[in-house]
Structure 1
Amino acid sequence: MTTTVSALSEKVRALLLDQIQRGTQLGTQVCAYRNGEMIVDAWAGEIGPEDSRPVQADTLFPSFSTTKGVAATALHILADRGVIDYAAPVSEYWPEFAANGKERITVAQAMSHQAGLHAAPPNEVALDWDRAIDFIASGTPAYEPGTSTGYHAITYAWVVGGIVQGASGRHIKDVIQEEIAGPLGIQGEMYVGIPDGVEDRLAWLQSPPEPTPEQAAMNPMANLPDDHDFFKAMPRTGALDWNSMEVRKACIPSANGHFTARALARMYAALANGGEVGGVRLVSPERIAQMSRVQVDTPDRVIFMPIRKSIGFFNGGKTMGMHGATGPRETAFGHPGAGGSIAFADPDVNLSIAVTINKMQGTLQAEGPTFEICELIRKELGVNA
């Protein structure tokens, strides 16, 4: 992979060092492509709160829901080959999914969080692929599918995994390796469920500090009732330990992807560049518009705010006059992750950006330091409007 050391890359690194000095970052990587060429490749900081080794370009960062965009890309590659039809019922590929009123849910609806299956399984189920697939197949929608949207924070893993497995006969982690990582030359930098032998390259997450009483009172979740859909999707207590090897080695393609920023930016560079980067084509040029087309933009029952969702991705654009880290264009698509990671493609300006972090921020859509990084890159390129 060719690295272009540019003035922009140096400015990004300077920002990372400033964020670390301010205490808003611990360790991070940033990579960006424009017109299929790498324009930013920067990293700084420490691997973890109790591991002072410096972050390297190949450090693997657990990236939470940024994983969803990689899993969605695997599904879209199959769709581009005619293996999956977005308008088809999920049950056409996965007959068991039809149980309990789900027989008419389409792939597009399921992948844009309109299936009503957001309630998370018990931890022991989440760590067992076959049990988790059965959990989704036998689930009962929380509302009439297609009439509302509620973020499938964890359960997206087995929605997309079940569709891919049913349609192709292949495990989604194999599709990711064989159709994305291998062709793009990023083997060893893109895993959903880590293999043995990469432990020394892992970043370790630092949890955000406990909020002060004043901060807690200002948090939108402070006034949510205990039975709110947010806590059904992301339970208040008993959460998985995302630093544990048990969780890291499981396959949860909604939340436990381990990536480098280079790998994520290269994948999205193809999607920002008509489906191709470096002579490797992931999808046809015509597929990009279908991948990024907004399916729903109404208020989300789980996240309690409107979010533009396409088939497996969150989209950019302005809400109440402001845009987030993905930028001002609704055609930009990708996914943020809890704590502040993000990766996305902005096809209108042939730009992709990826940010991996290990100091968890109290964000929903990569607000804070990650937003600051993405804004710097867009402003320096003159593409922030």
Structure 2
Amino acid sequence: MVERAVPRAPCGAFGLLDLDAPVAANWPEFAAAGKASVLVRHLLSHPTGRGSPGCAKRTRWSSSTTEQAAIFSQLAPVPLAALTNPVAGAREANTAAWRAAEIPAANGHGTARAIAALYGIVAGRGSYGTHRVLSPEAAERVREGQGACRDLVLGTGFKGETEIGLGLWLSGSHRSYGPNPRAVGHDGFGGSCGLADPEAGVSLGYVMNRMGPHIADDPRKTALVDALCSALRGRSGTV
């Protein structure tokens, strides 16, 4: 979820991580197998796994899905460590082994209140309550769209093309995170969700005690998003 976006935003804002630098500038071995042109920002937005001709901002590196799998297998030691992680089934996701594993962008854990608070940093344009966590510029960078495409990483979970910012999906025309196309969010394993709408000044976190089969847009999450937007419309008449 947002754990892969928010921690990296200040790194880019403070000059600690150049999002437009090649990954190989920090990890020389990554350049193998034709990946020298892959940028750090691409790792936050799935374009290295997108091969759709309709992609608005395609990375200069392109490959088939099978080539990506072969390339992934070469990226030691991180993938080698990942291969020792437990399999990603619903039952395994509730085990201590899964929680202890290193699965980037896949096994972050938190309560609904904690997820809403984390997304609240984006909704608050870098502030949460009285605390300034990110600069407004860093918070806004999370919403920098990287081009609408058919997502080849999680494509089966979506009805059509989607667009990812720097780590989070834009609501876009699918309205997955409300009617504001600039709202952002991320769905989690089993149906969980977090979203932020800076224009409405609202964030939401949802977790469940029963795992669902949906990769994205679980009906329970969709019902909550619709209820939130309905409440906001009743309050202001603008959402």
- For Structure 1 versus Structure 2, the TM-score category normalised by the shorter chain is 0.7 to 0.9
Aligned residue runs from structure 1 range 298-377, under 5 A? 298-302=149-153, 303-304=155-156, 305-319=160-174, 323-324=175-176, 326-377=177-228
CA deviation after TM superposition for structure 1 residue 384, in Å: 7.6
SS at structure 2 position matched to 1:98: helix
Residues matched between the structures, number: 207
What is the rounded CA distance, in whole Å, between the counterparts of 1:248 and 1:262 in structure 2? 19
Native 8 Å contact 2:34 2:61 kept in 1: no
CA deviation after TM superposition for structure 1 residue 306, in Å: 1.0
What is the rounded CA distance, in whole Å, between the counterparts of 2:26 and 2:133 in structure 1? 22
Structure 2 equivalent of residue 262 of structure 1: 113
Structure 1 equivalent of residue 20 of structure 2: 87
The answer as to 2:129 corresponding to 1:278 is yes
State percent identity of aligned pairs: 31
CA deviation after TM superposition for structure 1 residue 329, in Å: 1.8
Going from structure 1 to structure 2, the CA distance change for 1:290 and 1:145 (only over 3 Å counts) comes to: same
SS at structure 2 position matched to 1:345: strand
Query: CA offsets per residue over residues 112-170 of structure 1, 9 Å max, x none?
Result: 111239xxxxxxxxxxxxxxxxxxxxxxxxx97555898x9xxx9xx9xx8xxxxxxxx
What is the rounded CA distance, in whole Å, between the counterparts of 1:339 and 1:114 in structure 2? 24
CA deviation after TM superposition for structure 1 residue 101, in Å: 1.3
Going from structure 1 to structure 2, the CA distance change for 1:384 and 1:344 (only over 3 Å counts) comes to: farther
Q: 1:343 is aligned with what amino acid? A: G
Structure 1 equivalent of residue 100 of structure 2: 249
Decide which structure has the larger Cα Rg and report it: 1
Structure 2 equivalent of residue 165 of structure 1: none
Structure 1 equivalent of residue 9 of structure 2: 76
The answer as to 2:43 corresponding to 1:116 is no
Native 8 Å contact 1:114 1:149 kept in 2: no
Native 8 Å contact 2:125 2:135 kept in 1: yes
Native 8 Å contact 1:333 1:346 kept in 2: yes
SS at structure 2 position matched to 1:357: coil
Going from structure 1 to structure 2, the CA distance change for 1:91 and 1:378 (only over 3 Å counts) comes to: same
Query: CA offsets per residue over residues 336-362 of structure 1, 9 Å max, x none?
Result: 013210011111111101101121222
What is the rounded CA distance, in whole Å, between the counterparts of 2:64 and 2:144 in structure 1? 16
Native 8 Å contact 2:147 2:164 kept in 1: yes
Q: 2:47 is aligned with what amino acid? A: Q
Q: Which consecutive residues of structure 2, in runs of 5 or more, have no partner in the other structure?
A: 51-57, 79-86
Q: 1:354 is aligned with what amino acid? A: G
Q: 1:95 is aligned with what amino acid? A: P
Going from structure 1 to structure 2, the CA distance change for 1:285 and 1:377 (only over 3 Å counts) comes to: same
Relative to its length, the structure with more strand (as a share) is: 1
Point out 4+ residue stretches in structure 1 off by more than 2 angstroms: 143-150
Going from structure 1 to structure 2, the CA distance change for 1:288 and 1:347 (only over 3 Å counts) comes to: same
Native 8 Å contact 1:333 1:345 kept in 2: yes
SS at structure 2 position matched to 1:251: coil
CA deviation after TM superposition for structure 1 residue 70, in Å: 1.1
Give the TM-score normalised by structure 2: 0.77
CA deviation after TM superposition for structure 1 residue 244, in Å: 2.2
SS at structure 2 position matched to 1:115: helix
Native 8 Å contact 2:148 2:164 kept in 1: yes
Structure 2 equivalent of residue 287 of structure 1: 138
Q: Which consecutive residues of structure 1, in runs of 5 or more, have no partner in the other structure?
A: 1-65, 118-142, 163-237
What is the rounded CA distance, in whole Å, between the counterparts of 2:16 and 2:59 in structure 1? 27
Give the TM-score normalised by structure 1: 0.49
CA deviation after TM superposition for structure 1 residue 366, in Å: 2.7
Q: 2:132 is aligned with what amino acid? A: R
Going from structure 1 to structure 2, the CA distance change for 1:116 and 1:283 (only over 3 Å counts) comes to: same
